[in-house]
Amino acid sequence: MAGGFEADLLKGKRALVTGGGTGLGKAIGARLMEFGADLVICGRRRDVLQDTAQEFAQRFGRFVEIEQCDIRDAAAVEAMIAHVAAKKLDILVNNAAGNFLAQSHKLSPRALDAVLNTCLHGSAYCTVAAGRHWIEKKQPGVVLSILTLSALHGAAFTLPNAMAKAGIDAMTKSLAVEWGPHGIRLIAVAPGNFPTQGASARLTPTGGANDIDPGVPLRRDGEHGELANLCAFLVSDMAGYITGETIVIDGGKRWLAGSRAGVSQMLDWTDDDWARQRSGQPGKKT
């Protein structure tokens, strides 16, 4: 067994992971291979894809196909999906994304498009192209999209990404209904804090410092393997009756966000702090 699942959980499946050369996409691809899937990774930088493919080939003893593709280009996506599907395509993982911190009122149209074209349009191009192939060939398929928590409740200073990911969430729900009769499932995952080298440097005010977010009740960041395990389960036949859902994996962060003010500090109170609170004094010494 691997990661708690049977080692052949995805044997016979062929998966395409966009943005599969680095970060979370790389972790997901590795776990899919570990469970027996054949893997295709796509991205804009061929050298990055080649390095990851070579690493995986040495690690798993199997060939990894690469597709250099800018998913913002609809024609390029159609060609890529046709090439991959001509051999076999069972699973599409929409992982490629773009994001940065910025004051929304200062965003230029070009800055907006830089994120929307990759996250929203690119994911839609890939999904529709894959779905068209499956429906024409009368084949089942699975689309897994990687979202963010901002898709569910918005987020300041990352407006384009929040908009794009919310759109993918709507796509997931809509196509789960429309394509369900064709045996096509669509699911999404909304991760909380799963640091990657690139995203941490771009999206934290401290530039990627290792401080743990006090807004996470489990008091730690997520591990890439935990996210990859969830993704492997969702695209497998074990989750064959799950569709149209967005699964949150965030250590409880979104529930703390809905709690009363000050709860995050109270989670670290000692017995003495609670004793002071019961006696009518401030619970935490300052």
28 contacts 17 by C-beta, under 8 angstroms: yes
Same-domain check for residues 206 and 278? no
Same-domain check for residues 202 and 285? no
Query: Is residue 4 included in any domain, yes or no?
Result: no
Query: Is residue 3 included in any domain, yes or no?
Result: no
Query: Is residue 9 included in any domain, yes or no?
Result: no
Same-domain check for residues 262 and 283? yes
Same-domain check for residues 261 and 143? no
Same-domain check for residues 242 and 137? yes
Query: Is residue 2 included in any domain, yes or no?
Result: no
Predicted local distance difference test score (pLDDT) of residue 93: 98
13 contacts 37 by C-beta, under 8 angstroms: yes
Q: The CATH number of the domain where 64 resides is what?
A: 3.40.50.720
Instruction: Tell me the backbone φ, ψ of residue 188, rounded to 5 degrees.
Output: -140, 155
Query: Is residue 286 included in any domain, yes or no?
Result: yes
Q: What is the DSSP string of the chain?
A: -BTTB-TTTTTT-EEEEETTTSHHHHHHHHHHHHTT-EEEEEES-HHHHHHHHHHHHHHHSS--EEEE--TT-HHHHHHHHHHHHHH---EEEE---------GGG--HHHHHHHHIIIIIIHHHHHHHHHHHHHHHT--EEEEEE--THHHH--TT-HHHHHHHHHHHHHHHHHHHHHGGGTEEEEEEEE-----HHHHHHHSTTSS--PPPTT-TT-SPPPHHHHHHHHHHHHSGGGTT--S-EEEESTTHHHHHTSPTTHHHHTT--HHHHHHHHTTS-SS--
Same-domain check for residues 243 and 107? yes
Predicted local distance difference test score (pLDDT) of residue 143: 98
Same-domain check for residues 148 and 261? no
How do 91-94 and 65-68 pair as beta strands? unpaired
Residue 132: give the domain boundaries. 14-251
Same-domain check for residues 282 and 222? no
Query: Is residue 6 included in any domain, yes or no?
Result: no
Query: Is residue 5 included in any domain, yes or no?
Result: no
Predicted local distance difference test score (pLDDT) of residue 284: 67
Same-domain check for residues 20 and 123? yes
Predicted local distance difference test score (pLDDT) of residue 197: 67
pTM of the model: 0.87
Q: How many domains does the chain have?
A: 2
State the residue for tokens 């040495």: 58
Same-domain check for residues 73 and 168? yes
Q: pLDDT 10s per residue in the chain (286 long)?
A: 555 577 899 999 999 999 999 999 999 999 999 999 999 999 999 999 999 999 999 999 999 999 999 999 999 999 999 999 999 999 999 999 888 889 999 999 999 999 999 999 999 999 999 999 999 999 999 999 999 999 998 888 999 999 999 999 999 999 999 999 999 999 999 998 888 766 555 555 555 555 667 778 888 888 999 999 999 999 999 999 999 999 999 887 776 665 655 666 777 778 888 787 778 777 665 4
Same-domain check for residues 278 and 194? no
Query: Is residue 7 included in any domain, yes or no?
Result: no
Same-domain check for residues 158 and 274? no
